[in-house]
Homo-oligomer: A and B are copies of this chain.
Amino acid sequence: MAREARVSTAVVSYVMNDGPRPVAPATRERVLAAAAALGYQPNRIARALRARTTGVVGLILAEAPNPYFSALGRHIEQALSRREKLTLIGNAGFSADRQESLVDRFLAAQVDGLVIVSADGGTDVAAAAEAAGVPAVYVHHQPAAANTPFVAADNRASVEVAIAHLRQHGHDHIAFLAGPDDRGPVRQRTEAWQGIVGSTESRLLRCEYTRAAAARMTRDLIAGGAMPAALITATDEQAVGVLAGAWGTGLSIPEQLAVISLDGTPDSAHTAPSLTVTQQPLQAMAQQAVDSLLDAAAPGEPVRATLVTRRSCGCADTTY
């Protein structure tokens, strides 16, 4: 390449990077022509070795096919891409072991940063990253002992608007579907619900964060005649499961059961019936996380979800 343009490698570097030294227009042309002719592209690996920065960021997702993580992941990838970063992806699969192993492998690959969208708070990943001098940011879920930057929606605010809206529909007893145990963002949501409705007359339901589990629970509840009239689900996955479980048992939503979910994934617009949600600004969250990571700045305040009324709460369906 350098000899094709009859210049030194240094000049090639100056041309490719627009600096740090000026290059005569004629020479620059010659280099550009040679590069085009040979299809030359700078080797990022060599550059990375020299510059001690790879332009690659590691993204760890709890489970990519989950619409919530998936949508968040795409926005993060896009935000990273806008900043000229490449995204290394890994699925932790709700396993602390896998998550740790991923971090190690990403660190060995010399990533410039780590974005962790996990659901399990098992390990404090940031420790390993910090030891390696690699910045990290948590999204959605912050492990107990972390003092690492953290981006999430205001969970309490979401619960507040959901409850307020169901009350407007005339519901006094509002049940809550939480996860199998109290951890992470769902814990905050659960506590917010408990704080607002009080322990009297309130019903706390629990099941795994899967459609299948929520559907099974719903059928059991209906069979036992124990289904409440209004329900807030901690996640969209569970809400979709509730809808699936209710269908076919003759329980009609929203007439017999009003439902609001707290994630607000794009998919929630096209369930049957369409799902009323508190919609988290996933793109803004992704942007916030990426900016905070790359600019080494503390992220701003938690963003607020907005209520999107559809059919499942009892409102008219305005989706179409």
- Please give the residue numbers on chain A whose beta carbons come within 8 Å of chain B beta carbons, in ascending order: 39, 41-46, 48-49, 54, 56, 59, 63-65, 67, 70-71, 73-74, 77-78, 81, 86-91, 104-110, 131-132, 211-212, 215-216, 219, 240-241, 243-248, 266-267, 269-274, 311, 317, 319-320
Contact = CB atoms under 8 A, between A and B. Distances in A.
A270 B241 CA distance: 6
Contacts of A56: 88, 109
Contact of A105 (B46, B59, B86, B266): B86
Contacts of A270: 211-212, 215, 240-241, 244
Given A78-B91, A89-B89, A272-B246, A109 B67 contact: no
Contacts of A105: 86
Contacts of A131: 39
B49 A320 contact: no
Given A77-B91, A88-B86, A104-B41, A272 B271 contact: yes
Given A41-B108, A248-B273, 19 more contacts: A41-B104, A42-B108, A44-B108, A44-B109, A45-B110, A46-B49, A49-B49, A63-B74, A64-B64, A65-B74, A65-B266, A70-B70, A86-B105, A211-B270, A212-B269, A212-B319, A215-B320, A246-B272, A247-B272
A131 B41 CA distance: 12
Nearest to A89: B89
A74 B215 CA distance: 24
Contacts of A71: 65
B73 A81 contact: no
Contacts of A65: 67, 70-71, 74, 266
Contact of A64 (B74, B216, B241, B320): B74
A270 B77 CA distance: 28
A213 B89 CA distance: 30
Contacts of A274: 244
Nearest to A243: B272
B90 A81 contact: yes
B43 A110 contact: yes
Contacts of A45: 45, 48-49, 54, 109-110
Contact of A311 (B42, B107, B219, B248): B248
A91 B42 CA distance: 23
13 contacts: A39-B131, A44-B108, A45-B45, A59-B89, A64-B77, A67-B67, A88-B89, A89-B89, A211-B269, A240-B270, A243-B272, A244-B270, A248-B311
